[in-house]
Each structure stands twice: as structure tokens, then as C-alpha cells.
Amino acid sequence: MNICGYYPESINEGDGLRAVIFLSGCRHRCPGCFNPATWNFNYGEPFTEQRQQEIITEMANNPLLEGLTLAGGDPFFSADEAADFIDKVRATLPNFSVWIYTGYIYEDLIASVHSAEYHLLQKCQVVIDGPFVQSLKNTSLPFRGSSNQRIIDIQASLDFNDAIMLQI
């Protein structure tokens, strides 16, 4: 797995101050994507064990951070590796919230409880789902680029067996 970006602090990719990691690779290829270079799975730098530990240590040493956001590309195309990284983060920061972006819709991610995608989803608190749709672009929406994308509270959604929107 490669990463194509890392922001140690951001307020744009989730609620509060968050570290953000952009994972390389996406097959959705949404027209109007703000960063089509991230579609390439080899773009960026290898996300080595050493690099992962450097980022975890940096996050642990920043008392202002409220959580981690995984974006891309699309992290669900590297679901096993992304889930493993979240496990490493939680070993050091057990109460860190994790937000994740995807071009998939929530209902597709939960369709198979035995899939790597479902396993990854369960490790996160919030998912921003849905492909970017150029005709629905709306830059006034918090944390997303088009009005079809939803901000979903994952744990509440799994508990109620329905997509529950996060109240922001």
C-alpha cells in the first residue's frame, strides 16, 4: 500500500483537529475528481512499517488531535492494509476516532459481513460515502464535495441496521 499524502493537522476532513492520510489507489475514477493522480496504486510513497510508526508516534505526541481520517484514492481498495493500520493506531491511541472516505455507498460496504471492506468499516466511527458527482458539486457542504455524499455514523448504523446520518 502506498500513501500519497499526510497532513499532521487538518480541520477539513472531519470534525475537530485530525491527522489525515491519503491512501493511493482508486478504481471509481469519478469525473471531476479533485486529485486523479491518487487513482494510481503506485503513486506516492510506500506505507512501510517504519513510516506507519512515525505517523502514529507523531499523532500520539499531539495532544490537540481528536482523531484520524483515511482518505484517498479510496481506502477500501486497500481494506486489509488500512484495517491493520487502524489496529496499530488503536494499540497506541485506543480512543482515537477514525473517519474514512469512500466512493462506495454504505449499503454496498455492509452487503457481506465477511468482506475486508466490512471489516474495515467496523473499525471506523464515521464514513463519508458515495462517489463525487460533478453535477451535484457543492462546496458549501461540510466535509464532502457533492450533495449525494453522506456523513454516516457507522456504529449507530450497524446497531439500527440502517444508514444513520451524523448530526453536525
CATH code, domain carrying 113? 3.20.20.70
Is residue 138 one of the residues assigned to a domain?
A: yes
Q: Is position 46 within any domain? A: yes
pTM over 0.85: yes
**Nearest alpha carbon to residue 74 among 131, 37, 38, 26:** 26
Angstrom distances, CA of residue 73 to CA of 64, 104, 117: 26, 12, 15
- Any domain includes 80: yes
- 167 belongs to a structural domain: no
Helix (H, G, I), strand (E, B) or coil at 74: coil
pLDDT digits (tens, 9 = 90+) for 20-30: 999 999 999 99
Tally of domains in the chain: 1
Closest CA relative to residue 2, chosen from 36, 54, 52, 69:
52
Note whether residue 144 is domain-resident.
yes
Neighbours of 142 (CB within 10 A): 10
Tell me whether residue 60 is in a domain: yes
- Which residue shows C-alpha cell 469525473? 31
Q: What is the pLDDT of residues 66-111, one digit of tens each?
A: 999 999 999 999 999 999 999 999 999 999 999 999 999 999 999 9
Rounded to an integer, what is the distance from CA 63 to the centroid of its chain? 21
Q: What is the pLDDT of residues 28-39, one digit of tens each?
A: 999 998 889 999
User: Domain residues for 34?
Assistant: 2-160
Q: In this structure, is residue 165 part of a structural domain?
A: no
For residue 4, the SS3 value is strand
Cell numbers describing residue 75: 481506502
Checking DSSP bridges between strand 18-23 and strand 67-72, what pairing results, if any? Answer: parallel
Coil vs helix vs strand at 28: coil
